[in-house]
Amino acid sequence: MRAVVPLNPNRVVADRTVSTTCPYCGVGCNLQLHVKDDFIFKVTSPFDAPVNRGNLCVKGRFGYDFVYHSKRVTTPLARRYLLEGKPRPENREQRFEISERKETGEQRIENGETTSHPVSSHLLSSWDWVETDWETALNIVADNLTRIYKRDGSDAMAVYCCAKATNEDNYLLQKMYRAIFRTNNVDHCTRLCHAGSVVALQQAVGSSAMSNTASQVIMNDVFIVTGSNTSENHPIIALQMKEAVMKHGAKMIVADPRRIDLADMAELWLPLKPGTNVPVFSAMAHVIVKEDLVNWEFVNSRTENLDEFLESLEKFTPEYAEEISGVPAEDIRKAARLYANARNAAIYWGMGISQLSHGTASAMAIIHLAFLTGHVGRDGTGLNPLRGQNNVQGASDMGAMPFHYPGYMRVDNPENRAQWEKCWNIEAGGLSLKLGLTTTEILSHAHEGGIRALYIMGENPMMSEPNLNETRKHMQRLEFLVAQDIFINESGAFADVFLPATPFAEKDGTFSNTDRRVQRVRAAHPPRGNARPDWQIICDLALRLESRLGLDTAHWAYSHPEEILREMGSVNQDYAGITYERIEKEGLIYPVPTLDHPGTPTLFTESFPRGKGKFHPLDYVPAREEPDDEYPFILTTGRLLEHWHGGSMTRNSALNETYPEARVEIHPADAEIHGIRNGDPVKVQSRRGEVVLRATVTEKTTVGVVFIPWHFHEAAANLLTNDALDPQAKIPEFKACAVQVFPAREDDLPNPEFEVKRGRY
Amino acid sequence: MFTLIVDGKEITIEDGKTILEAARENGIDIPTICWHAATTANGLCRMCVVEIEGVRLLQPACIVKAGKDMKVQTRSERVIRARRTILELLASTMDLSDAPEVLAMMDEYGASAERFPDAARRESEVKDDNPMYIRDYSKCLLCWRCVQVCAEDAQYTYAINFDGRGFKTQIGTFFDKPIPETTCVLCGQCVGVCPTGALKPKRQYLLEQGVSAEEISVMNTGRKRRKS
């Protein structure tokens, strides 16, 4: 008889595989979740997936275990004072631990009644987190929001939507605040990432998304990557960039203060000092004009205001730029010639452009390059801000912004207002025409007579805002704070009520990725514990608010998220042709104006949304805080491959084991002067705060520049950053502030026992 | 465009295609193990060998270009005997228990796992040196896909390569360093293309070791506790 090899008897076979979209970055990779007994044990991706062709990064392939983390909150929580009907304690503390768990059977408080075994009263604090039920929690939220709204009106109410949540969740949350509280104090973290790019693009072309798709990188002959550490922050787009260089002969120009991974494959690396984008890119424009590399046909037919711009350009010689930025003038010339002489050239940029007190000007300097050369409006060209979050594009599209309804319809335009009033069953003139406050302004207005009640869905301002010591004070001044999340993060720890929502793996909906591709998100299994999908929480709460305020209903009875998307698409023309059926297998790239429209991968082929592209005169404005004798280094912040933003997901995941501590990167020349060796503990101090962490001595950073990732609450980079804002976009200056670095002791480290041992660049 | 004959059937294809592509486009199945749509074909496993009239040796269909008027047999006695032997050689030296597709081929070709009962086996300890995936090279058939996706076929990271020579060849890291200390970015492209379960996500591996989902959620989700 033939001998047969037996199949591994312990082999785990999936009960089902669920196709969904990655919850991390804006690339929007397709994930197949392999599920057994309601537990995801493996993630794969189909090799014909249009976005990522089977490739994933460490977060997408392995970073889903936060779903099952023991610290995840799956039962509603309220502070004890609320459950006992007592006055709120004077001090709003940051507290993470849950005092009483239902599972322990010790105590449960519902409707103010203690049902069993009270703990000795001297151990109780009014500020304890106590588990409760949905009915109680939602009634507390509804009562308090109603009370504050009736007392102080619309201007006291504000909400942070969430670039991690689905389009449907975000649409509903902004609808709740606009339709019920009649306020436009609605914003989300887009303000902190690409607001500068959005404002510049709106002013120059009238639309703020990527003009081309990321998969068109391989069609570029030349492309510029600037202010984006693409390999770590959009890993799959970085693979396409590498492929473009290695297999399709494209030439890459990297302009970044750090010698990022992509610099290895670049034709040119322009190591500019943080905050000097305007002189460098304007000098490139200067070269293009002076050497007459201008695409006059494009400039004459598609743009306006050239003369005023040229006048302002006069001073931006490459030598002037070299003096300010440190980039050799000759390299600026080479870069300008490469870009201008290419058949198809594109620019990809990240937050190194936008996160500055002159972020709008920075982005504008880039846009001018595309205008001068006509490298926009064709396949393989374009102006491409790489959006950070999985659904930051979508949340912005959904109107989670203080100046726009869904579809970028200005809130101060009565015609736009009328359309949404009709959609939401609101009396004519009922919605507010007043522009709302932005993310940063919402918190800085948290005081008597300003914002009193804040609702945070998924965001974490206590990690993501600049100058956190100041943010902390603002959080403490709120009268009522609701957190809707999956973990008690640094911000939720200040909240009065915690509503446990579901992560991507437990809900249905859609995400819109960085290149405007609207893709499905599907639940792999039911919510853990008593958690509920965000859209259901919002609808339930909205109905309670409407009944307390005696309002006609704005429609909250949805049986499935698809109905929410259809409602939104009935007014927002970009999404009008998108149905779940059409995106069942593959996403559609909006604008999709009709049900038979195939989507629009390349924008601006014939004209710009504002008509002609508009040049804007620019001047060089330095970063608000420049290094001096006391604080001689420029601190720039950013992200790591293994972590995500404030860390709610990745720090509660095995990802944390791969990179458990914050490190400050310092150049060997600087390290030597200060007597710092690789791995030494150091204290980094700015005028606003200080952190202690280990140093990585590396040429990945440049002389005079230190880099700290902002994921780690133990050494939060944003304790140091400057809360100076761009006057137009209101984006804070995360990318440049002045710091000093001192040697420190092992004992000063928050977690001396952890040390990253990684060989990756 | 030109015409060739595969298994007696006349097929017309575009220039530049391999015999494998030409056959599959025309509904003729040729089995493969090391070949993968996302990697460069290298003709390593030889499972796809075919007989070409006038050519002395069997040829790997995944890399040999189809030629005008070529006469190809994909299922001749000689081809089948070669494939069966390849499978038997594999089964004699490695653990195929997590390679259901290869096992199905063994069934189809009537290959015996004990044709070479005294063969030395390529055995090694499970390498569990990072939180994301394990490497069990007892199950590795050296298809090279993992090395390729780590290099130019996807990631351009070059963390792993062939190590050793001849029978002792194995996939490894430079100086046998643990994965986290190599250039590896833990993307897991290698795990995604492994055909034999030699590379597995850590969580799947733990489940298979009998660790419960609850236990995995505690042990494999970050070791740091938040300081309040």
Give A177-218 pLDDT, tens digit per residue: 999 999 999 999 999 999 999 999 999 999 989 999 999 999
Q: How far is B154 from chain A (nearest CA, A)?
A: 7
Residue A755 contacts B, CB cutoff 8 Å:
no
Locate the chain A residue with the closest alpha carbon to B199.
Answer: A42
Q: pLDDT tens, B2-25?
A: 999 999 999 999 999 999 999 999
Same fold, B2-75 and B133-219: no
Residue B138 contacts A, CB cutoff 8 Å:
no
Locate the chain B residue with the closest alpha carbon to A12.
Answer: B208
3-class secondary structure per residue, A564-607: HHHHHHCCCHHHCCCCCCCCCCCCEECCCCCCCCCCCCCCCCCC
Question: Rounded to whole angstroms, what are the CA distances from A146 to A82, A181, A480, A547, B61?
Answer: 15, 9, 11, 10, 73
Judge: B220–A754 Cβ closer than 8 Å, yes or no: no
What confidence score (pLDDT) does residue A428 get?
A: 97
3-class secondary structure per residue, chain B: CEEEEECCEEEEECCCCEHHHHHHHCCCCCCCCCCCCCCCCCCCCCCCEEEECCCCCCEECCCCECCCCCEEECCCHHHHHHHHHHHHHHHHHCCCCCCHHHHHHHHHHCCCCCCCCCCCCCCCCCECCCCCEEECHHHCCCCCHHHHHHCCCCCCCCCEEEECCHHHCEEEEHHHCCHHHCCCCCCCHHHHHCCCCCEEEHHHHHHHCCCCHHHHHHHCCCCCCCCC
Residue B103 contacts A, CB cutoff 8 Å:
yes
Highest CATH level, class, for A195-385: alpha beta
Per-residue pLDDT at B222 exceeds 50:
no
Judge: A44–B217 Cβ closer than 8 Å, yes or no: no
Predicted TM-score (pTM) of this structure: 0.95
Judge: B210–A653 Cβ closer than 8 Å, yes or no: no
Locate the chain A residue with the closest alpha carbon to B100.
Answer: A7
Among B186, B206, B227, most A C-beta atoms within 10 A, so best to mutate, is: B186
Domain A633-748, second-level architecture? Beta Barrel (2.40)
B chain contacts of residue A69, beta-carbon cutoff 8 Å: 217, 221-222
Domain A153-192+391-574, second-level architecture? 3-Layer(aba) Sandwich (3.40)
Residues A302, A211: contact at Cβ < 8 Å? no
Q: pLDDT tens, A373-419?
A: 999 999 999 999 999 999 999 999 999 999 999 999 999 999 999 99
DSSP string, A106-170: S--EETTEE-S-PPPGGG--TT-EEE--HHHHHHHHHHHHHHHHHHH-GGGEEEE--TTS-HHHH
What confidence score (pLDDT) does residue A122 get?
A: 54
What confidence score (pLDDT) does residue A100 get?
A: 77
How much is the ipTM here? 0.94
What confidence score (pLDDT) does residue A755 get?
A: 87
Locate the chain B residue with the closest alpha carbon to A758.
Answer: B181
Total number of residues shown for chain B = 228
Question: Rounded to whole angstroms, what are the CA distances from A148 to A152, A155, A437, A527?
Answer: 6, 10, 18, 32
Selecting from B97, B132, B228 the residue whose C-beta is nearest the C-beta of A6 gives B97
What confidence score (pLDDT) does residue A120 get?
A: 52
A chain contacts of residue B182, beta-carbon cutoff 8 Å: 759-760
What confidence score (pLDDT) does residue B226 get?
A: 38
Judge: A246–B152 Cβ closer than 8 Å, yes or no: yes
Distance in angstroms (rounded) separating the CA atoms of residues A398 and A392:
10
Neighbours of B101 (CB within 10 A): 12
Spatial CA neighbour of A180 closest among A196, A157, A207? A157
Judge: B222–A656 Cβ closer than 8 Å, yes or no: yes
Locate the chain B residue with the closest alpha carbon to A657.
Answer: B222
What confidence score (pLDDT) does residue A3 get?
A: 82
Judge: B154–A55 Cβ closer than 8 Å, yes or no: yes
Distance in angstroms (rounded) separating the CA atoms of residues A727 and A492:
29
CATH of segment(s) A16-68 = 2.20.25.90
Region for B54 from its dihedrals, namely left if φ exceeds 0, alpha if ψ lies in -120 to 50, beta otherwise: left
Judge: B155–A55 Cβ closer than 8 Å, yes or no: yes
Can you point out the beta strands (E) in A5-138? Answer: 16-21, 30-36, 39-44, 77-79, 98-100, 109-110, 113-114, 129-131
Q: Which two tokens stand for residue A420?
A: 């949404």
Q: What angle do CA A42, A47, A50 make, to 5 degrees?
A: 110
Locate the chain A residue with the closest alpha carbon to B189.
Answer: A55
Which parts of chain A sit beneath pLDDT 50? Answer: 104-108, 112, 114, 116-118
Q: How far is A33 from chain B (nearest CA, A)?
A: 12
Domain range list for chain A? 16-68, 153-192+391-574, 195-385, 633-748
Locate the chain B residue with the closest alpha carbon to A489.
Answer: B226
What residues does A131 pair with on adjacent strands? Answer: A77
What confidence score (pLDDT) does residue A1 get?
A: 61
What confidence score (pLDDT) does residue B220 get?
A: 53
Locate the chain A residue with the closest alpha carbon to B181.
Answer: A759
Highest CATH level, class, for B133-219: alpha beta
Judge: B224–A4 Cβ closer than 8 Å, yes or no: no
Among B88, B95, B156, B220, most A C-beta atoms within 10 A, so best to mutate, is: B156
Q: How far is B94 from chain A (nearest CA, A)?
A: 11
Judge: B201–A653 Cβ closer than 8 Å, yes or no: no
**Element holding A738 (H helix, E strand):** strand A737-743
Q: Which of residues 44 through 83 in chain B touch A, CB cutoff 8 A? A: none
Domain range list for chain B? 2-75, 133-219
Q: How far is A704 from chain B (nearest CA, A)?
A: 27
In the predicted model, what is the mean pLDDT of residues B164-171?
Answer: 93
Highest CATH level, class, for B2-75: alpha beta
Q: How far is A245 from chain B (nearest CA, A)?
A: 11
What confidence score (pLDDT) does residue A52 get?
A: 97
Q: How far is B55 from chain A (nearest CA, A)?
A: 33
Q: Which two tokens stand for residue B191?
A: 């795990």
Selecting from B154, B177, B188 the residue whose C-beta is nearest the C-beta of A239 gives B154
What confidence score (pLDDT) does residue A526 get?
A: 98
